[in-house]
A and B are shown apart, each in its own frame.
Chain A
């Protein structure tokens, strides 16, 4: 046993209202720069829907993640090392601007400076990558709230797989929101795909990062990630991805997406896992058993043997305490209600989801039934095959039993808490029906429904005496640097990589003591 710590996240999808506050605050914090206009470290997808980039889940097309070869060994789906190097001059699996969208701004200047006339001036959309007029046709959540689903909905890879069963007519449709960030996988295929070795998993907390100094822009990580959560900065020519807001986590603060989530649906916490058994879990031959295999390498942080091994690996005491209080471990392993996204990619993703019961409850109440009656709920879960099959394709490689089990637990919790809140006689059979005790059910309720800040975010700070400095302005962060020499009609910066003509610029940037010393108007 070799114990490693991993920071993980759980999202409770029942609470997601699809407001995209997480996406917007994340963008403001991390990707509001030229070159990453189209990059959404966090995005919120309406499901059924194509997701972002379009149809990213179709791995027969994109070849992301891992697969097993005929002998049951783990192989990158896009091919091994030699194949990677052979296709380095043109990556055959790389999504391009058409698969994301062409980022744009508006020519606001024409609103302010148009001469007086009979017609109202308009702000035309201008492409941020060509500076030319463009027609806005798609964006990161163009199919939000099933918009255009009767036309585009069938392009959702899961809908295509389930065939004609998923309906998009208003009366028959179901939908829910799926917020996505980088999964910070235990077995990350992006890291394995990077020819330069610039991507790495942090030993301390398992966060997957790109070393901006080492990245050489070979783009294999972008195609290697099955979730398409590594993006190519087309200005700097380097890969960028969700950092799990590590500068915030290091000082004990939750990520920006978590902190600003109005539904309070995100949970952050540590899990301990057995690094010696990662390969074993990732090579489980039966895809539907991958989730169980992944859970089996997560270690019980209260087991004395685990704790002794963890101490031997140098994990500090306050981290062990945080692991014991971790909402992620509790939701994934103790209550067994959190499921990984697409375990069949074999990357052992560490952002978990509690599948939504709301499509079931909604359907039930719309038909005039009592949506909190346990009998009705169980009956509806059994009857509503299509949403559950859809959820199973997302979270359990198509096995509906674990999804059913989670939904039954959520339904039982709903029913049980109604009896408690109405002062009715508590019926222990409700909890027993899903294999829980009343005490367990009520503590799960506190974690899911009350969801206090300190219960949602159990984040041990990093062990460094100068951690506070991390919060202050980081003037040396190269990715923040954009030069504005070079005019574009809409005032956006033009890319100026370091070359002969920008020697002085580079030198000045490197030698400046303070960010504010730089002449930004150069």
Chain B
């Protein structure tokens, strides 16, 4: 195992995960106001109508596949016959991947060709699209090259072991180093995506509103929560702005 392997499969993933966790904590604490999907549907909805659901639903299926392949230990998934597992992994994964890619291409085309949407595209959006596009392209190539044309590579014995070992803090980089290079590139790109995640619009993934299924329809809230004027108690990012915290005179003479 080379030094590069150590860096790519141990150091780099941890750096990215630190960025993912710390970045989200920072963003959640200091930028509730910026935490949004930043929808562009108001500008354009004809292309979005098909492209966005295709991309998102395709992605959800792909993520479920990754959960089964990476997180569930092989000893569990081997209870399913190998041929069936392979069919599910390559077939369903491949179809979901294609749906997702068509959606993504539609979304990128729309973003580039609709003037209003293109103008609202930030640098971070562009970086995110490049990294996300690379992850998806490499992932789909891997699936087609190894699982469909190549007859199947059992990533559950190498990639999945390495992936889980990261979270046990006992990283098995040698397992990943032995995997085909496409898998390695896909994984490294994915970790790069995790690293930039908190600083992009991708944060909206973590506010998926599943709580809506259970909460009462009409929400009531008291004006006086937290004992401060306004609608709610103080939160970081709002309370240091002067004016409301009783230090007005002090501020005025600074």
| Chain A interfacial positions (CB closer than 8 Å to B) | 81-82, 84-85, 88-92, 94, 96-97, 127, 129-132, 187-188, 191-192, 194-197, 199-205, 209, 211-219, 232, 234-238, 250, 462-464, 466-467, 469-470, 472-476, 478, 494-501, 503, 506-507, 510-515
Q: List 26 A-B contacts (CB under 8 A).
A: A89-B52, A91-B41, A129-B43, A191-B217, A192-B217, A194-B219, A197-B215, A204-B224, A212-B33, A213-B235, A216-B36, A216-B37, A216-B209, A217-B204, A218-B39, A238-B33, A475-B241, A476-B241, A478-B238, A496-B122, A497-B36, A497-B124, A497-B201, A501-B123, A506-B31, A510-B237
Q: Is B167 an interface residue (CB 8 A)?
A: no
- Give the secondary structure class of B's interface: loop
- Give the secondary structure class of A's interface: loop
- Are B243 and A473 neighbours in the complex by a CB distance under 8 Å? yes
- Are B39 and A219 neighbours in the complex by a CB distance under 8 Å? yes
Task: Give CA–CA (A473, B248) in the complex, Å.
Answer: 11
Residues in chain A near residue B124, CB distance under 8 A: 497, 499-501
Q: Which one, B33, B42, B237, contacts A234 given CB within 8 A?
A: B42
- Are B220 and A216 neighbours in the complex by a CB distance under 8 Å? no
- In the complex, identify which listed stretch (B94-102, B112-120, B135-143, B183-191) lies at the interface while the others stay far away: B112-120
B127 to chain A, nearest CB (A): 7
Contact A237:B36 (CB < 8 A) given known A202-B221, A213-B235: yes
Task: Give CA–CA (A474, B231) in the complex, Å.
Answer: 14
Contact A218:B34 (CB < 8 A) given known A196-B209, A203-B223: no
- Are B218 and A188 neighbours in the complex by a CB distance under 8 Å? yes
- Are B223 and A515 neighbours in the complex by a CB distance under 8 Å? no
Contact A238:B119 (CB < 8 A) given known A89-B53, A204-B223: no
B29 to chain A, nearest CB (A): 10
Q: Which one, B27, B38, B123, contacts A237 given CB within 8 A?
A: B38
Residues in chain B near residue A232, CB distance under 8 A: 39, 42
Residues in chain A near residue B218, CB distance under 8 A: 187-188, 191-192, 201
Contact A129:B116 (CB < 8 A) given known A201-B218, A202-B231, A500-B123: yes
A154 to chain B, nearest CB (A): 25
- Are B244 and A469 neighbours in the complex by a CB distance under 8 Å? yes
Contact A512:B119 (CB < 8 A) given known A202-B222, A503-B199: no
Contact A216:B213 (CB < 8 A) given known A236-B33, A497-B38: no
- Are B223 and A202 neighbours in the complex by a CB distance under 8 Å? yes
Q: Is B196 an interface residue (CB 8 A)?
A: yes
Residues in chain B near residue A464, CB distance under 8 A: 223-224, 229
Q: Which one, A85, A212, A462, contacts B209 given CB within 8 A?
A: A85
- Are A515 and B241 neighbours in the complex by a CB distance under 8 Å? yes
The proximity string for B residues 131-166 relative to A, scoring 1 for CB distances below 8 Å and 0 otherwise, is 000000000000000000000000000000000000
